[in-house]
Amino acid sequence: MKVLRATIRFLAMCSVMVGCYVCWVLGQPFVFAFPSISRKWRHFNFGGWAKTTARILGMTVTVHNAPPPAPFLLVSNHLGYVDIIVLESIMDCVFIAKSELASWPVVGFISRTLNTIFIDRSRKRDILQAMESADRAFSCGLGVVLFAEGTSTQGKTVLPFKSSLLEIAARRSTPVHYVTLSYSSPANESVAWWRDMTFFPHLFQLLQLKRFEAKVIFGLKPIISSNRHVLAEKLRAAVSSQLNSSTTAGVVAKSEELQLV
């Protein structure tokens, strides 16, 4: 039964991804000359893909506090590829991703055409190009999401944040928003994709889950600092605090639950 469920879900996910992408491409010639309409068309398709994929996965997304208004720079902890589905289902944004994702079959091609910002953090030139790409996204009214840990984790703790990409915010004392992600499933199966897990075996295991929950906690106030190292430390502390105490009065009082199943 689980294998059949996973197979049906996989085929449905592929169909939705291809369908939304083709729809977006076919509409581009009619909207590309109008930036605001083009942005809405992008979110209609990319956001629609994320929401539909969440339903296919059997995922319920619970959102605490309001997401920041675009354009914004948002820092998040990182638990794997499901994070992208969760965040895009809530808001209009582009993601800063590792350069190797660009070479993935199909996914890499689609990510490139949807303005994903790819970066190799070991190359200073890539960091500068990423900053320029983030500036273009801001000017188009989009939000930019940065997974500042630099890698995905199991989700129990938050790794030190890489400060290099926060230079763009530090130089201008730009407010940086933050969000904390966590997942839970009835049998405590792992939703996070981390360490040396292979992608397709993990995805097939995830597709076998009957349901699971994603909890999203947005920070109430952005953080500002002209020093990128200080900014990274403060953001990490804020994300960690939300991860460790997600039921504080301020969070619960302003919570909103989105049922995506």
Residue with tokens 């952005």: 222
pLDDT in tens, the chain (261 residues): 889 999 999 999 999 999 999 999 999 898 888 888 988 898 899 999 999 999 999 999 999 999 999 899 999 999 999 999 999 999 989 998 887 777 777 777 778 777 888 887 667 677 778 888 888 888 888 899 999 998 899 888 999 999 988 887 898 889 999 999 999 988 667 799 887 888 889 999 999 999 999 999 999 999 999 999 999 999 999 999 999 976 343 444 333 444 443
Identify any residues that bridge with 179 across adjacent strands, giving them in sequence order. 76, 218
Nearest-angstrom CA–CA distance, 190 and 43: 29
Q: What integer pLDDT is reported at residue 188 of this predicted model?
A: 66
Ramachandran assignment for 6, one of left (phi > 0), alpha (psi -120 to 50 degrees), beta (any other): alpha
What sign has the CA pseudo-torsion 203, 17, 182, 234? positive
Nearest-angstrom CA–CA distance, 168 and 62: 31
Residue 161, token pair as written in the block: 């944040």
Nearest-angstrom CA–CA distance, 167 and 134: 12
DSSP state of 164: G
Q: What integer pLDDT is reported at residue 246 of this predicted model?
A: 63
Nearest-angstrom CA–CA distance, 114 and 43: 10
CB 116 within 8 A of CB 94: yes
Minimal CA–CA distance to 231: which of 169, 172, 179?
Answer: 169
Q: How many CB atoms lie within 10 A of CB 12?
A: 16
Q: What's the Cα-to-Cα distance from 213 to each of 86, 120, 176, rounded to whole Å? A: 10, 32, 26
Does a cis peptide bond (omega within 30 degrees of 0) precede residue 71? Answer: yes
The CA R_g of the chain, rounded to the nearest whole Å, is: 18
Q: What integer pLDDT is reported at residue 111 of this predicted model?
A: 82
Ramachandran assignment for 91, one of left (phi > 0), alpha (psi -120 to 50 degrees), beta (any other): beta
Q: What integer pLDDT is reported at residue 253 of this predicted model?
A: 36
Q: What integer pLDDT is reported at residue 120 of this predicted model?
A: 78
Minimal CA–CA distance to 213: which of 257, 153, 254?
Answer: 257
Nearest-angstrom CA–CA distance, 174 and 172: 5
